[in-house]
């Protein structure tokens, strides 16, 4: 089911807009990779405007919670002066882990778009499927597979190079 994305002009389709935001998330993932971080990137959007963007910074910040999703949620909350982001959409290159999926729920993010599935560590459509649990306070609309191939390849090559 397609949802209009605020800010998409008449000549720009909703799918083009989603692809554009996901490309920004991929740019953040590439930046993270260039710093030795696991290449995951996220973009948080409100009314068609990018509020926050980040890549993983767990190593740089010596912080196991410095996942891209957590970083953009923190930035957007600070920018909007609110702990809730109900009119915001999150674009992330990899299916969120349990920690990030919970933060997305607590922030009341409207829509989650992600690239590659994470069979081992994901918590949205893999693993615990947090948003299907009765303990979940808020479940965003979820759309997976956006730029899936690019997201998966970025991670695959990163981990391959670490093993060599």
Residues in the annotated binding site = 67, 97, 100
Binding site listing for Zn(2+): 67, 97, 100
Q: Considering only CA atoms, which of 149, 74, 141, 138 is closest in space to residue 113? A: 141
Catalytic-residue membership of 69? yes
Cβ neighbours, 10 Å, residue 161: 9
The per-type count for the chain, helices as H runs and strands as E runs, is 4, 5
CB-based contact 148:114 (threshold 8 Å): no
Structure letter (DSSP) for residue 57: -
Of 28, 37, 69, 95, the active-site residue reads: 69
Indicate which residues carry an active-site annotation: 69
């Amino acid at each position: 089911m397609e949802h209009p994305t605020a800010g998409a002009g008449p000549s720009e389709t909703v799918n083009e807009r989603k692809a554009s935001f996901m490309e920004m998330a991929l740019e953040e993932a590439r930046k993270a990779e260039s710093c030795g971080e696991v290449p995951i990137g996220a973009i948080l959007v409100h009314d068609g405007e990018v509020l926050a963007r980040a890549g993983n910074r767990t190593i740089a910040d010596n912080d196991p919670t410095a996942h891209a999703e957590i970083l953009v949620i923190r930035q957007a909350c600070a920018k909007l002066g609110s702990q809730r982001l109900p009119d915001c959409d999150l674009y992330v290159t990899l299916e969120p882990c349990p920690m990030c999926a919970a933060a997305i729920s607590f922030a009341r993010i409207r829509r989650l778009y992600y690239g590659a599935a994470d069979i081992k560590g994901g918590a949205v459509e893999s693993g615990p499927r947090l948003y299907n649990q009765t303990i979940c306070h808020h479940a965003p609309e979820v759309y997976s597979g956006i730029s899936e191939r690019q997201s998966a390849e970025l991670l695959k090559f990163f981990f391959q190079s670490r093993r060599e």
